[in-house]
Amino acid sequence: MLTGKISYSEIDRVRQLFEQCRNVVIATHSSADGDAIGSSLGLYEYLKKKGKDVRVVVPNYFPDFLKWMKDADQIIQYDRHRAQAKMYIERADLIVCIDLNEPKRMDDLAEPIVQASARKLMIDHHLNPDRFCDVTVSYPSASSACELVFRIIDSIGGLPNLTKAGAEDIYAGMCTDTGKFSFNSNDPDIFIIISELLKKGIDKDKIIRNIYNNYTEGRFRLLGYILSQKLKVLPEYHAAFFTLDRNELGQFSYIKGDTEGVVNMPLEIKGTKLSIFLREDTEKPRILCSLRSVDDFPANKMAAEFFNGGGHLNAAGGNLSCSLDEAVEIIYRALEAYKDMLQA
């Protein structure tokens, strides 16, 4: 049915890991997004149905608009429940690191995971995976970690053990990592997978409403403020950017997740190829950077070169230890360096 994207030898090794494990910890990246939570809970559903003891651990807070997923309230937040999370990590015989390619994407959670004696499995779709796991299933061409979770379950003959809730989780992550199937989603297999998920009885329209029509009033008004007051459009670079400092975030009762996806919006302006968003972190003294691009403009290369980060071709990010004003200067330097590619 699906093309065999994942190699037979990897599937075999994953099958063995899943057969032999009893106590599983699934861990994902800090500031988890729809794909991180969806892939973690999707795999959790499957392994629980197989009779395993499974815990999902995230480094820190994740957005409220993902909390409708079944058992989202069972997810252990490492920054608030360290001792409990460490206990499960030490007890685990399998740790699955999902939607991340290197330990540092887990912030403080990285250390106990790297130190743990459990066997480790990476399931990810970012470039350049760090080989810190016993088995690495890394396919940057996949739309999402959720797509890879589905492919793994399907390849090991596990679809009957994928619950409706698991199908909802997987759909949610595929949907959010492709902007509701508007980018990175030309692989025909994606739609075969969706068809299989629908056969599990999911209501995809409701999932989309749960994720996207679930804004706080603060987020909705913040959006208006960004678009009317903050957005700088630079036609000479085919680019646009905006920044938010802590004061501005406070004015709109900002809670984490409120700016999720907003960086995509300037790409709706005719001729724009690159959008950049800089936000003062509310937790640490740093500037968080998000980049989005279209076609073959390498947002990840720009992020690596100028914003101390990386990511996918069209969706990348990083962080800077400087003032917001200095970070804006870095934007202009980056635009100047990539001017030819942006004008092409």
Closest CA to 16 of 133, 135, 139, 161: 135
Question: Which CB atom, from 42 or from 173, has the smaller least distance to ligand 5GP?
Answer: 173
Q: Would you call 57 helix, strand, or coil by DSSP?
A: strand
- Min dist. Cβ of residue 36 to ligand 5GP (A): 9
**Closest residue to Mn ion, Cβ-based?**
35
Question: Which CB atom, from 28 or from 272, has the smaller least distance to Mn ion?
Answer: 28
Question: Which CB atom, from 63 or from 310, has the smaller least distance to ligand 5GP?
Answer: 310
- Radius of gyration for the chain, computed over Cα atoms and rounded to the nearest angstrom: 20
Question: Which CB atom, from 216 or from 319, has the smaller least distance to ligand 5GP?
Answer: 319
- With CB cut-offs between 5 and 8 Å by kind, which of Mn ion, ligand 5GP, none does residue 112 bind? none
- With CB cut-offs between 5 and 8 Å by kind, which of Mn ion, ligand 5GP, none does residue 312 bind? ligand 5GP
Q: Would you call 163 helix, strand, or coil by DSSP?
A: coil
Sheet with 239-244: list strands edge to edge: 232-234, 239-244, 274-280, 287-293, 315-320, 310-311
- With CB cut-offs between 5 and 8 Å by kind, which of Mn ion, ligand 5GP, none does residue 265 bind? none
Question: Which CB atom, from 136 or from 155, has the smaller least distance to ligand 5GP?
Answer: 136
- Min dist. Cβ of residue 241 to ligand 5GP (A): 13
Q: Would you call 285 helix, strand, or coil by DSSP?
A: coil
Question: Which CB atom, from 99 or from 168, has the smaller least distance to Mn ion?
Answer: 99
Q: Which ranges of 116-264 does DSSP label H, i.e. alpha helix?
A: 145-155, 164-177, 188-199, 204-212, 217-225, 246-251
- With CB cut-offs between 5 and 8 Å by kind, which of Mn ion, ligand 5GP, none does residue 310 bind? ligand 5GP
- Min dist. Cβ of residue 270 to ligand 5GP (A): 23
Report the interface residues with Mn ion, using CB under 5 A: 35, 99, 145, 177
HSE (side-chain half, CA atoms, 13 Å) at 81: 14
Taking the chain, what is the end-to-end CA distance rounded to the nearest angstrom? 39
d(CA 42, CA 152): 11
Question: Which CB atom, from 280 or from 318, has the smaller least distance to Mn ion?
Answer: 318
Residue with tokens 């508007």: 182
Closest CA to 69 of 144, 174, 167: 167
Cβ atoms of 45 and 26 closer than 8 Å: no
- With CB cut-offs between 5 and 8 Å by kind, which of Mn ion, ligand 5GP, none does residue 318 bind? ligand 5GP
- Min dist. Cβ of residue 14 to ligand 5GP (A): 22
- Min dist. Cβ of residue 69 to ligand 5GP (A): 19
How does 141-172 read in b/e, with b if 16+ C-beta sit within 10 Å?
ebbbbbbbbbbbbbbbebbebbbebbbbbbbb
For residue 296, give every residue at least 6 positions away whose Cβ sits within 8 Å of its Cβ, in sequence order, or none. 313
How does 229-262 read in b/e, with b if 16+ C-beta sit within 10 Å?
eebeeeeebbbbbbbbeeebbeebebeebbbbbb
Report the interface residues with ligand 5GP, using CB under 6 A: 126, 290, 309-312, 315-319
- Min dist. Cβ of residue 231 to Mn ion (A): 26
Question: Which CB atom, from 166 or from 317, has the smaller least distance to ligand 5GP?
Answer: 317
- Min dist. Cβ of residue 32 to ligand 5GP (A): 11
- With CB cut-offs between 5 and 8 Å by kind, which of ligand 5GP, Mn ion, none does residue 124 bind? none
- Min dist. Cβ of residue 144 to Mn ion (A): 5
**Closest residue to ligand 5GP, Cβ-based?**
317
